Structure 1
């Protein structure tokens, strides 16, 4: 914890350093997770609007400097490729909104690669299980369905009556 208050307008550089550390360790990482990590670093019980504004300002500062990049709705290191997806642990279970699309899509591609011809519903269940989500709530279904559609649009996956298949060479 710091002597400097997170809400202090002069704390931008310190807040940016903490945000950068979060992105470097956890990237790709959603903004809600960044809010949580920074507020916990300051020992705050919640991230109110002033705290969120300070963190948003630090993120914009880091984006302008090229130290972080925005990929979909997540923040990451420049040039970083998502090579693995993180499974839940006893200490860290993430909601679907806290899992970057890059991780969800990696899992979807891997499941299809391991079982070509998988149908959407089975793919949704397998991906949800990977992330520790016991039920396919509307938020999970919507996010994963959007990810599948994006993978089809980008030609990473092909959908036919026989199910989903990896694109040739993918």
Structure 2
């Protein structure tokens, strides 16, 4: 199977939320609440943090929490996310979930009713580690690679999926995550595995 025939129809380059947009959302939200210049660590800032986090999910969903931490702290120009910052963002995410503005998709967050139709390839600005790629997206790649090359062996499938996400080598964390994804797809009846490799399960 060759990957050189241009990008797959089920893939898109990763679209990262614009940091300027996040700063704008932060300023608009804080001035609307009469809290201009509020710090991310401030307990009063919860609604403002929630507005910024919601903006990240709307643009990048499904998106893992680690990526949300990074985006939100950058909106405040913070170099790293310490425990207090993570705690603030966690509380904001919990509030958004409770309000029904975002939903859980596995360990990732997404907007309600959003179907994951595309897996996203790395760009110069945004390359994600395996833990930063939602399971639903990794499984989409695995399923599509098997659909396009039925009978693919597990090792080749792992390599193909890793290449899709821009990972040059199969580190232990990548291998473990993708192997778990393949096993989950088999358990859910999406794929079958035999000596002849992995095959898609034809729907009724």
Shared topology, TM-score over 0.5? Answer: yes
Alignment match of 1:94 (pick from 128, 135, 160): 128
Aligned residues: 170
Which of residues 56, 72, 78 in structure 1 aligns to 2:112?
Answer: 78
In the other structure, the counterpart of 1:141 is 175
Q: Which residue of 2 aligns with 1:130?
A: 164
Per-residue deviation, 1:71: 1.2
Question: Root-mean-square deviation (CA), in Å?
Answer: 1.0
Unaligned runs of 5+ in 2: 1-22, 28-36
Displacement of 1:64 in angstroms is 0.6
Q: How far apart are 1:80 and its partner, in Å?
A: 1.0
What SS is found at the alignment partner of 2:199? strand
Matches within 5 A, 1:1-170: 1=23, 2=27, 3-169=37-203
Following superposition, the deviation at residue 154 of structure 1 comes to 0.8
Deviation at 1:67, TM superposition (A): 0.8
C-alpha distance in 2 between matches for 1:115 and 1:121: 13
Equivalent position SS for 2:186: helix
Which of 77-86 and 118-127 deviates more?
77-86
* TM-score, normalising length: structure 1: 0.98
TM normalised by structure 2 equals 0.82
Runs of 4+ deviating beyond 3 Å: none
- What are the superposed Cα offsets for residues 109-154 of structure 1, whole Å, 9 maximum, x if unpaired? 0000000000100000000000000000000000000000110111
Taking the aligned partners of 2:129 and 2:165, their CA distance within structure 1 comes to 9
Structure showing greater radius of gyration is: 2
Shift of 1:89: 0.8
Cα distance between partner residues in 2 of 1:83 and 1:165 = 20
Deviations 1:46-67 (A, max 9, x none): 1100000000000000011111
Q: SS of the counterpart of 2:109?
A: strand
Deviation at 1:96, TM superposition (A): 0.3
Residues of 2 paired with 1:53 and 1:9: CA distance?
10
